[in-house]
Structure 1
Amino acid sequence: MTQQARLTAGRTMGSQTLAGNNSNDAFVEFERVQKSYDGENLVVKDLNLFMPKGEFLTMLGPSGSGKTTCLMMLAGFETATHGDIRLDGVSINNIPPHKRGIGMVFQNYALFPHMTVAENLSFPLEVRKMGKSDREAKVKRALDMVQMGDFAGRRPAQLSGGQQQRIALSRALVFEPELVLMDEPLGALDKQLRETLQFEITNLAHALGITVVYVTHDQTEALTMSDRVAVFDDGRIQQLAPPDKLYEEPENSFVAQFIGENNTLEGVVKEIKGDHCLIQLDDGGLIDAKPINVSAVGERTRVSIRPERVEYNKDRLSPDAHTLHAEVLEFIYMGDIFRTRLKVAGTEEFVIKTRNAPDVERLQPGQSIEIGWLPEDCRALDA
Structure 2
Amino acid sequence: MADTATGTAFVAFERVQKSYDGESLVVKDLNLDMPKGEFLTMLGPSGSGKTTCLMMLAGFETATHGEIKLDGKPINNIPPHKRGIGMVFQNYALFPHMTVAENLAFPLEVRKIGKSEREQKVKRALDMVQMGAFGGRRPAQMSGGQQQRIALARALVFEPELVLMDEPLGALDKQLRESLQFEITNLAHELGITVVYVTHDQTEALTMSDRVAVFDDGRIQQLAPPDELYERPQNSFVAQFIGENNTLEGRVTQISGDACVVQLDNGEEIDATPVNVSGVGDRTLVSIRPERVEIDPQLGPDAHTLKAEVKEFIYMGDTFRTRLSVAGNDNFIVKTRNRADQVRLRPGQHVTIGWLPRDCRALDA
Task: Give the TM bin, normalised by the shorter chain.
Answer: over 0.9
Corresponding residue number in structure 2 for 1:42: 25
Report if aligned partners of 1:34, 1:43 keep a CA contact under 8 Å in 2.
yes
Question: 1: distance between equivalents of 2:60 and 2:315?
Answer: 48
Report if aligned partners of 2:296, 2:351 keep a CA contact under 8 Å in 1.
no
Task: Give ranges in structure 1 of 5+ residues lacking alignment.
Answer: 1-15
Corresponding residue number in structure 1 for 2:231: 248
Code of the aligned partner of 1:203: N
Question: 2: distance between equivalents of 1:223 and 1:279?
Answer: 30
Code of the aligned partner of 1:208: L
CA deviations 1:267-307 (Å, max 9, x no partner) are 00000011000000001110000000001110100000000
CA deviations 1:98-147 (Å, max 9, x no partner) are 00000000000000000000000000000000000000000000000000
Report if aligned partners of 1:63, 1:217 keep a CA contact under 8 Å in 2.
yes
Corresponding residue number in structure 1 for 2:361: 379
| 2:339 counterpart (347, 357, 361) | 357
Alignment of 1:189-268 (within 5 A): 189-268=172-251
State the Cα distance separating 1:22 from its structure 2 match. Answer: 0.9
Is structure 2 residue 157 aligned with structure 1 residue 174? yes
| 2:170 counterpart (166, 173, 187) | 187
Question: 1: distance between equivalents of 2:280 and 2:143?
Answer: 59
TM-score, normalised relative to structure 2:
0.99
- In percent, how many aligned pairs have the same letter? 82
- The CA RMSD measured in Å over matched residues stands at 0.7
State the Cα distance separating 1:361 from its structure 2 match. Answer: 2.1
State the Cα distance separating 1:356 from its structure 2 match. Answer: 1.2
Question: 1: distance between equivalents of 2:236 and 2:48?
Answer: 16
Q: Secondary structure at the match of 1:109?
A: coil
Question: 1: distance between equivalents of 2:306 and 2:133?
Answer: 61
Question: 1: distance between equivalents of 2:206 and 2:200?
Answer: 11
State the Cα distance separating 1:38 from its structure 2 match. Answer: 0.4
Question: 2: distance between equivalents of 1:284 and 1:73?
Answer: 50
| 1:294 counterpart (277, 289, 292) | 277
Is structure 2 residue 319 aligned with structure 1 residue 334? no
Question: 1: distance between equivalents of 2:76 and 2:181?
Answer: 31
Question: 1: distance between equivalents of 2:130 and 2:363?
Answer: 47
Question: 1: distance between equivalents of 2:220 and 2:344?
Answer: 41
State the Cα distance separating 1:264 from its structure 2 match. Answer: 0.2
Q: Secondary structure at the match of 1:298?
A: coil
Corresponding residue number in structure 1 for 2:303: 321
Question: 1: distance between equivalents of 2:80 and 2:227?
Answer: 34
Is structure 2 residue 70 aligned with structure 1 residue 87? yes
Is structure 2 residue 137 aligned with structure 1 residue 154? yes
| 1:344 counterpart (307, 326, 332) | 326
Q: Secondary structure at the match of 1:29?
A: strand
Question: 2: distance between equivalents of 1:171 and 1:358?
Answer: 50
Task: Give ranges in structure 2 of 5+ residues lacking alignment.
Answer: none
Q: Secondary structure at the match of 1:25?
A: coil
Number of paired residues? 365
Is structure 2 residue 290 aligned with structure 1 residue 307? yes
Q: Secondary structure at the match of 1:24?
A: coil
CA deviations 1:141-174 (Å, max 9, x no partner) are 0000000000000000000000000000000000
State the Cα distance separating 1:253 from its structure 2 match. Answer: 0.3
State the Cα distance separating 1:175 from its structure 2 match. Answer: 0.1
Report if aligned partners of 1:313, 1:360 keep a CA contact under 8 Å in 2.
no
Code of the aligned partner of 1:320: D
Q: Secondary structure at the match of 1:171?
A: helix
Corresponding residue number in structure 2 for 1:54: 37
Corresponding residue number in structure 1 for 2:113: 130
State the Cα distance separating 1:357 from its structure 2 match. Answer: 1.4
List structure 1 segments (4+ residues) > 3 angstroms apart after TM superposition: none
| 2:351 counterpart (369, 373, 377) | 369
Report if aligned partners of 2:296, 2:354 keep a CA contact under 8 Å in 1.
no
State the Cα distance separating 1:358 from its structure 2 match. Answer: 2.4
Code of the aligned partner of 2:349: Q
State the Cα distance separating 1:359 from its structure 2 match. Answer: 3.1
Corresponding residue number in structure 2 for 1:10: none
Code of the aligned partner of 2:287: S
Question: 2: distance between equivalents of 1:69 and 1:299?
Answer: 35
CA deviations 1:339-371 (Å, max 9, x no partner) are 000000011000000011123322111100110
